[in-house]
Each structure stands twice: as structure tokens, then as C-alpha cells.
Amino acid sequence: MTDALNYLATAGGSQPESSYPYRAVGQACAFNRAKVTVNNIRGFESCDPGYFGGAACTKANWLGFLRRGPAGVVVTANALKNVGAGIMDARQMNCPQMDHAVTAIGYTVEASSKRGVINVRNSWGPGWGNNGNFRIYHNEDNSANGGSCWLTKIAIVPRY
């Protein structure tokens, strides 16, 4: 995630996905500066447990990053095998390590349980999960599984 944001800062921006779609195959970089639509990225900011120089994530600063836009986060990939349309609960999952980057795209509060729900986009395509996305309850205990299966341990956002 940090490499991608630093690349965008040095390359001069980002193309829209419509002009450079993800194809899930190895290929040479086809970046075209003429198609750049976002060109003011200057690097990244983070909250994390010391990996990238950010302060530790608290609920307040993690949500603060997410309010700014989509945030790079991490999860245990193995926990995502059977994702469907429902809301996952990390308290009932085995999440031993963080090993897969995903994008947190929103946060809502479920009306019936009053629990926070993190909305996440994965890179495995629209045939996976709920049209390529999943939802997971926000686990406020940030110790057991690293918080919501690690999702709340790190947040990385572009610095403009």
C-alpha cells in the first residue's frame, strides 16, 4: 500500500480504473500520464503499530482516516474464504496474522445491534463475496484478533 502511494506521488498521479482496469494477470506496467485524473498525491499518512511511522490506531484516528476517503487496511486472507452477503464477526473467526491488503470504503452502524460495521472492498473481483466486497463488525477490543480480524490495526491514506 505504501509503495503504491509513493509510486503515485513520483509518477505524477493515478489513472481511473476505466482506463487501466485490473485484470489479475502478470503484465508490464501500461501507465499513461496523459490519462491521469488524480495528480496531487504526495505520499501517505498512517496509523499503525509502528510499521510505517504512524501513531497507534485508536478508534478515533482510524475512523478519522476513513472519513477522508478509502483507506488501505489489512486482514487475514484465510478468514475471507467463505464470505457472502452477511456481516462477518471477527469474534467468531480465526485471524492469526495480517497477510492481505484490502480497502476500507465505509463505516456504518447496524440499526438492530447498534454495532459498527466496516465496509471493505477486496481485489478478488466481483464474483467473490458480495460483488467483490464484504462487511465485518467493528470489534472494539483491539487486542484479540488485532481488532476486527486486523482491519483496525492499520489505516493508510494518501497525503495530498
Mean pLDDT of 4-32: 86
Cα distance between the two ends of the chain: 16
- CA–CA separation, 71 and 62 (whole Å): 9
If you count them, how many residues does the chain have? 160
Global pTM value: 0.84
For residue 151, which of 116, 108, 120 has the smallest C-alpha distance? 120
Find the DSSP H helices in 54-101.
59-67
- Highest-confidence segment of 21-25, 30-34, 117-121, 143-147: 117-121
Domains in the chain, ordered, with CATH?
A: 45-158 (3.90.70.10)
SS3 87: strand
Share of the chain above pLDDT 90, in %: 36
The C-alpha atoms of residue 15 and residue 98 are separated, in whole angstroms, by: 28
- DSSP states of 125-155: -TTSTBTTEEEEE--S--SSSTTTTTTTT-E
20-24, 54-58, 71-75, 106-110: least confidently modelled range: 20-24
Most confident of the ranges 8-17, 34-43, 92-101, 111-120: 111-120
Dump pLDDT digits (tens) for 46-58. Answer: 998 888 888 888 8
Pick the range with the lowest mean pLDDT from 46-50, 102-106, 113-117, 140-144.
Answer: 140-144
Burial class (CB within 10 angstroms; exposed 0-12, middle 13-18, buried 19+) of 57: buried
